[in-house]
Structure 1
């Protein structure tokens, strides 16, 4: 029976608690409820005296009005959040990998995949006048070396293959322009892009430059935004209204529909490593999100590549490119 059909269902839910098990709840689907409940849904449930968010792992129909299971009284699911908060596909595979790699219950990595207080309504952030110099994409001419990198990345996008790339270039060598050109190729093919930055402070200037290219299709997400603003970006990305998400390590978990490229700028920075449990390191987690979908390119860029990725390149895990020289004098662009 479909989980959208009227009736009583027993729902297995993974919760953000340090217990390697799921918890069973009851959920009654009314005759006029078109939403129902399904695997991957984010739900709000009672747990002790608290109300917590959990991930639906399994759903089974119950022909009887079951109120107890193994001697424990079953509680009801209090809320099924909107479809924008479902965790499926590459995000679910990434959650499974994080839980396995860091030896944690699946529910413990769940908070990474949704904003605080999901479902909170928020208004669009008030737009401020541009505080950074505009860079006209039409006036920029890539050097031969930079164009070669873009051509290689575009070929990977065409094949929908996975290929990590390490881009090495000094400040001012045009790394950011290479990133934006590759993102443009992904968006032109209907794909999405993630642009990760090591610090929130770098987000406004990078977002201004990206919005000059992609307009309202680009948005930032970080802890400096209100819960409502973060929910608004999350929901818009899940609906396909946002194609490029910019931000620090938390942006990696944005619910973009079809990620074509992930940029990890200044990938040598230690701030990509989270201090709190589950302590994911974005430089490792980013390739895992797209490698398991096998449909995209992951790029890391730095003037000082870190040792793990540099050695990975020598082991042929990463293809290494050097972004030498500067952009054509027709236009200048910051790295």
Structure 2
């Protein structure tokens, strides 16, 4: 019988991830030896028994077989969090394509050594009689520094070291003298760096409506029966999904469990965290990329020690090391930011479902505009679907106007602002109500369209827009199709054809010029670079310090501004004609989310959508708040073209500093796929240059493979990994993988 070997790490703290030790698996333990299993092994020269975890399995010994020690025992770990996380890393490696090391670095929170933050206090030791004797002595000798310190200690018994040094101007020498003479003692304690600023906790007294209660009771009924089916809440904008999440979390916390709440962007953290803090107090914390190393380190420690029960953050918060995880909520689940753009290119939704499976927890997805993937699975019965169709406080959905920019051009209006939008802006400024102007630059990739008739230059093979390159060509980033750039519209002959160039800065300038008395705030990547940049802008707008907020997609997601009664969507077509198959879906989502910012208070809201494609199904469905009609059109298109979720796509990414080598390797891999999977009806597209074909002197090629069977695509990935491991590709070439990419390459 062939011997089996296990790669074992003896400590899953970050510094040790690079070092594994190979052990032989005894025959009687072979069935229990799986990735993530906790083992006992003889370690070091003295063969002392220590604990480790299996992170890899192999048939090949790395050194002479007789020198390899045997695993002593495999421990049944149950729901031990370390085992769960290693199993999760193994699952990510298999399903998304990466090394185990890359997967572990993603899943195991960073534990870089960070100096603990200390709080020092000075405590009076002398009794009252002794203290007053010393006070008289210091007064007599004019020892003013000692007198100031002693008087403060007599009054307060304990004062902070910082107060003594900063406010009382007492030197370290004086404090040391008090310690030497046993007058006082300096006490040090470690304190957490807390990224959530402590605020007075308001009384939480929100009552759920009938629809919200139904969703909560149905999910918890399953939960109590041990049924942990993934749930999708499709609730219109302003329907109170966050209140449902909080009630579910409250119920789970009362069972001694913990909860993770994923949000799509840092911009949502401020308002979301404040609502959770109002209900759950100091048992809530956050993790995101803008925290310092010390703040991140402390939140991981607090989670491991059970000192917090709820963590809120973007994708990476999914890997918080809670030991009693009961619930994972993914708010705005449709967002593309839930898909990692670095290796491993995992999707947080699928990964959350796997983590919940390992922990015995439930996943709740929520969105006003569910992803086509999630809604498709709900329609098939894989997820349990809930609908919330009414806004809280009986607020009405806003009225939406669609403005045809082709008609604006014909009438002589070449401004970024349409006549209808100007009219409504003047009205709102007069009434002292607030306005959001949203420029839809999401997915913009240099598509070319006609401002006279709306015609867009598209690929004849893939039904996505062609991208304008500087070499004077229009290129498809799926199949590599090229054609010359055009000077006149092939549809109507107009010379008004080209790309779109306006940004938030230009819009801000236009608004200030047209309405010089209006107070304007701009929110984009430039204005939010500093720490707390999002919070400062959103707080100022919420407090009424500005009349108009101009920004990109970060301003239209999840925010609640009761005084906003007008939203203007500028250039809806930028995402409608981005060069990948998600274009219609993203446009519908962004327009619906943007419209949802208007009329959330007691006042009626209005929305103006400016577009060159007013008849496109994504635009018309968003204007009517009609997800069902959008989904019917979109899923028919995906079925026809073989796009996810009806089918699956594997992108094979090849890069090299040698362009010829990259091209040769990509073609070689394509031929290997065709040869090794000849009977599997795979559709192989490419290889083609990526949209940015050269980055840091690396030339980049892509092959797309389509098939309904995800497992078959993972077999293709495994096969190609073997070619890479065996050195057939050469050391000059790198091969990576992306399953169901959220953006075209």
| Cross-structure match for 1:60 | 41
Asked whether the 8 Å contact 1:54–1:107 carries over to 2, the reply is: no
1: distance between equivalents of 2:81 and 2:18? 13
Residue 370 (structure 2) aligned to one of 261, 283, 305: 305
Give the TM-score taking structure 2 as reference length.
0.34
| Cross-structure match for 2:12 | 41
| Cross-structure match for 1:296 | 361
Asked whether the 8 Å contact 2:260–2:311 carries over to 1, the reply is: yes
Asked whether the 8 Å contact 1:260–1:296 carries over to 2, the reply is: yes
1: distance between equivalents of 2:377 and 2:333? 13
Q: Does 1:262 align with 2:331?
A: no
* CA deviation string 1:2-53 (max 9, x = no partner): xxxxxxxxx9446xxxxxxxxxxxxxxxxxxxxxxx5x633635xxxxxx65
1: distance between equivalents of 2:202 and 2:234? 22
* CA deviation string 1:191-249 (max 9, x = no partner): 11010000011112211111111111111011111111111111111111111010000
* CA deviation string 1:90-128 (max 9, x = no partner): 323221211111233322111223444534235423654
| Cross-structure match for 1:79 | none
The DSSP-based 3-state class of the residue aligned with 1:137 is: coil
1: distance between equivalents of 2:266 and 2:195? 18
2: distance between equivalents of 1:97 and 1:229? 29
CA shift at 1:89, angstroms?
Answer: 3.8
The DSSP-based 3-state class of the residue aligned with 2:311 is: strand
Asked whether the 8 Å contact 2:252–2:326 carries over to 1, the reply is: yes
The DSSP-based 3-state class of the residue aligned with 1:301 is: strand
CA shift at 1:259, angstroms?
Answer: 1.4
The DSSP-based 3-state class of the residue aligned with 1:163 is: coil
Give the TM-score taking structure 1 as reference length.
0.73
| Cross-structure match for 1:157 | 223
| Cross-structure match for 1:97 | 91
The DSSP-based 3-state class of the residue aligned with 1:284 is: helix
CA shift at 1:323, angstroms?
Answer: 1.5
The DSSP-based 3-state class of the residue aligned with 2:355 is: helix
Unaligned runs of 5+ in 1: 1-10, 15-37, 46-51, 75-85
Trace 1:85-164 onto structure 2 (pairs within 5 A).
88-120=82-114, 121=116, 123-125=192-194, 128=197, 136-138=203-205, 140-164=206-230
Asked whether the 8 Å contact 1:264–1:299 carries over to 2, the reply is: yes
Trace 1:220-299 onto structure 2 (pairs within 5 A).
220-293=286-359, 295-299=360-364
CA shift at 1:292, angstroms?
Answer: 3.2
2: distance between equivalents of 1:128 and 1:241? 17
Residue 187 (structure 1) aligned to one of 221, 245, 253: 253
Asked whether the 8 Å contact 1:156–1:296 carries over to 2, the reply is: no
* CA deviation string 1:264-303 (max 9, x = no partner): 100111011111000111111111111233x221111111
The DSSP-based 3-state class of the residue aligned with 1:41 is: coil
2: distance between equivalents of 1:157 and 1:107? 34
Asked whether the 8 Å contact 1:141–1:327 carries over to 2, the reply is: no
2: distance between equivalents of 1:171 and 1:253? 29
2: distance between equivalents of 1:328 and 1:180? 18
1: distance between equivalents of 2:316 and 2:263? 10
Unaligned runs of 5+ in 2: 1-5, 22-35, 48-61, 69-79, 118-191, 395-558, 561-599, 601-745
Residue 386 (structure 2) aligned to one of 288, 305, 321: 321
2: distance between equivalents of 1:262 and 1:233? 18
CA shift at 1:313, angstroms?
Answer: 0.5
Asked whether the 8 Å contact 1:267–1:306 carries over to 2, the reply is: yes
| Cross-structure match for 1:27 | none
CA RMSD of aligned residues (A): 3.1
| Cross-structure match for 1:77 | none
2: distance between equivalents of 1:318 and 1:196? 18
Larger deviation, residues 92-101 vs 310-319: 92-101
The structure showing larger relative contact order (alpha-carbon pairs under 8 Å, at least 6 residues apart) is: 1
Distance 1:125 1:43, change over 3 A: closer
Asked whether the 8 Å contact 1:167–1:320 carries over to 2, the reply is: yes
CA shift at 1:136, angstroms?
Answer: 4.6
2: distance between equivalents of 1:55 and 1:136? 51
2: distance between equivalents of 1:237 and 1:42? 15
Q: Does 1:173 align with 2:239?
A: yes
Larger deviation, residues 255-264 vs 121-130: 121-130
The DSSP-based 3-state class of the residue aligned with 2:363 is: strand
Asked whether the 8 Å contact 1:146–1:323 carries over to 2, the reply is: yes
Distance 1:156 1:93, change over 3 A: farther
2: distance between equivalents of 1:187 and 1:282? 23
CA shift at 1:142, angstroms?
Answer: 1.2
1: distance between equivalents of 2:101 and 2:265? 27
Distance 1:143 1:221, change over 3 A: same
- Report the number of matched residues: 275
